[in-house]
């Protein structure tokens, strides 16, 4: 009858425990590598996109840590600024010709365009721009309401306003198309005007009493502008 060697049995048992221990350690490392922090994954993804060689080696699912939103430039009336750039044109006539006429007008821009149309559609473009500039200047002044529509419909200011309401323009006319372009150009400050910071104007054939108390800024065609 043979006897088992105690040393050999202990050695075999130790070898088996050693193998089981390292197998467990390897299993734990793999499990840890599969648990990915989303923020870190987004950073790693960005680095791989910058490195063409690393990009082909990373097959893991990429997480977005936060939403990225591209903000569009907005004008004060809530419409995105669009159209040509002022410096690209030698004259206001060229800028108006290049300005797109189509597109919806917000309420404030519509009031501004209507004021240009009714008050100065027979004036040269510089005169129409000057009228728009006065309305914009008033909306920025503490002496007047703070929006275009309220400035235009303020009592006893513009003769074309009836009962606090602006009449309907002929929206199919060339004059209306020009007025909308001038309104956009003035609102986006795409062309300077000789009237500068003027808040008042009157037709050249009249001389209101208040004119003596104001500072004249410019005379454009049949209108005189004052601060």
Domain assignment present for 76: no
**Positive or negative: CA dihedral 116, 158, 199, 123:** positive
Q: Which residue has the higher pLDDT, 71 or 161?
A: 161
- The domain of 163 spans 86-226
**Res. 138: pLDDT tops 70:** yes
Residue 211's pLDDT band, with cuts at 50, 70 and 90, is very high
pLDDT (tens digit per residue) in 140-168: 999 999 999 999 999 999 999 999 999 99
Domain assignment present for 193: yes
**Res. 116: pLDDT tops 90:** yes
Region of 196 please: left (phi>0), alpha (psi -120 to 50) or beta: left
Q: Read off the tokens for 52.
A: 């063409």
Region 101-119: mean pLDDT is 92
**What is the residue-averaged pLDDT of the chain?**
73
Domain assignment present for 165: yes
Domain assignment present for 2: no
Tell me whether residue 129 is exposed, middle or buried, using C-beta atoms within 10 angstroms of its C-beta: 0 to 12, 13 to 18, 19 or more: buried
Question: What integer pLDDT is reported at residue 132 of this predicted model?
Answer: 98
Domain assignment present for 115: yes
Domain assignment present for 104: yes
Quote the radius of gyration of the chain (alpha carbons, Å): 37
Domain assignment present for 41: no
Tell me whether residue 147 is exposed, middle or buried, using C-beta atoms within 10 angstroms of its C-beta: 0 to 12, 13 to 18, 19 or more: middle
Q: Are 103 and 81 in contact (CB under 8 A)?
A: no
Domain assignment present for 20: no
Residue 86's pLDDT band, with cuts at 50, 70 and 90, is low
Residue 139's beta-bridge partner residues?
Answer: none
Region 88-117: mean pLDDT is 92
pLDDT (tens digit per residue) in 54-68: 333 333 322 222 232
Number of domains the chain contains: 1
**Res. 71: pLDDT tops 90:** no
Q: Which residue has the higher pLDDT, 118 or 14?
A: 118
Helices (H), the chain: 6-34, 38-50, 52-55, 92-98, 107-120, 125-140, 148-153, 174-187
Q: Read off the tokens for 106.
A: 């917000």
pLDDT (tens digit per residue) in 22-56: 444 443 333 333 333 333 333 333 333 333 333 33
């Amino acid at each position: 009858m043979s006897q088992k060697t105690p040393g050999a049995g202990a050695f075999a048992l130790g070898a088996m425990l050693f193998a089981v221990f390292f197998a467990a350690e390897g299993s734990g490392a793999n499990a840890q590598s599969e648990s990915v922090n989303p923020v870190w994954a987004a950073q790693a993804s960005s680095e791989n996109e910058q490195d063409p060689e690393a990009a082909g080696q990373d097959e893991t699912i990429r997480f977005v840590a936060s939403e990225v939103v591209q903000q569009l430039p907005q004008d004060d009336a809530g419409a995105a600024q669009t159209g040509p750039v002022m410096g690209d044109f030698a004259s206001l006539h060229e800028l108006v010709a290049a300005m797109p006429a189509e597109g919806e007008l917000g309420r404030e821009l519509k009031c501004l365009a209507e004021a240009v149309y009714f008050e100065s559609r027979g004036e040269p473009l510089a005169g129409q721009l000057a009228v728009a500039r006065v309305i914009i200047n008033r909306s920025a002044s503490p002496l007047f309401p703070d929006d275009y529509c309220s400035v235009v419909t303020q009592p006893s200011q513009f003769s074309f306003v009836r009962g606090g309401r602006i009449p309907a323009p002929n929206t199919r006319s060339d004059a209306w198309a020009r007025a909308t372009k001038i309104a956009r150009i003035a609102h986006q400050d795409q062309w300077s005007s000789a009237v500068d910071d003027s808040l008042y104007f009157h037709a050249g054939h009249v001389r209101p009493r208040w004119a003596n108390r104001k500072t004249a800024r410019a005379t454009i065609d049949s209108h005189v502008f004052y601060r």
